[in-house]
Structure 1
Amino acid sequence: MFKQRGALKASLNWYRANMKNDDKSIGDIAAPTLIIYGLKDMAIGEKSVDESEKYLKGDYKIEKLETGHWLIQESFEAVSKSIINHLTNYSQ
């Protein structure tokens, strides 16, 4: 993917655009929410995950796994089980 000219720059610009502090908010989230987080993630801090709670107004669950940033590759079974349980609990 990054062999293509400009791909790395485009990827980084996507993150930069989402970090702008322009005070545009999508509002609080009322839908049932599952956050799956890897405790060894070097890109996303645990504090950020924990603070997301203030935007979650519906049922939510934060599941922390002993894994890194690439959750599915590192902990496929646990991630799959969490997603299936969440969807089963909130279907219909």
Structure 2
Amino acid sequence: MKVYVGNISRHISDEQFHALALPFGNADSVSVPRDVESGRTKGYGFLDFANRDEALATIAGLNGKDIDGQILNASEANAARGVRRF
């Protein structure tokens, strides 16, 4: 199950992002999109879990959490989000 986490720091590393989920479960992979020119994150990332219960625990644990003054929003990633169909 893929988890979307928004409003993350523009300076977070992949390792730091992965560590956010560790209290709830071990993500199999992480993806933090970055701006090509600045190298800063785009403010969101994804965590992939093989275990659905760990993914749901991560969503519950991170959604609304204050990290360095930024309130995270976490939800199940929606493959159709942001996709334009013509």
TM-score (normalised: structure 1): 0.25
More strand per residue: 1 or 2?
2
**TM-score, normalising length: structure 2:** 0.26
Greater relative contact order (Cα 8 A, min sep 6): structure 1 or 2? Answer: 2
Structure index of larger Rg? 1
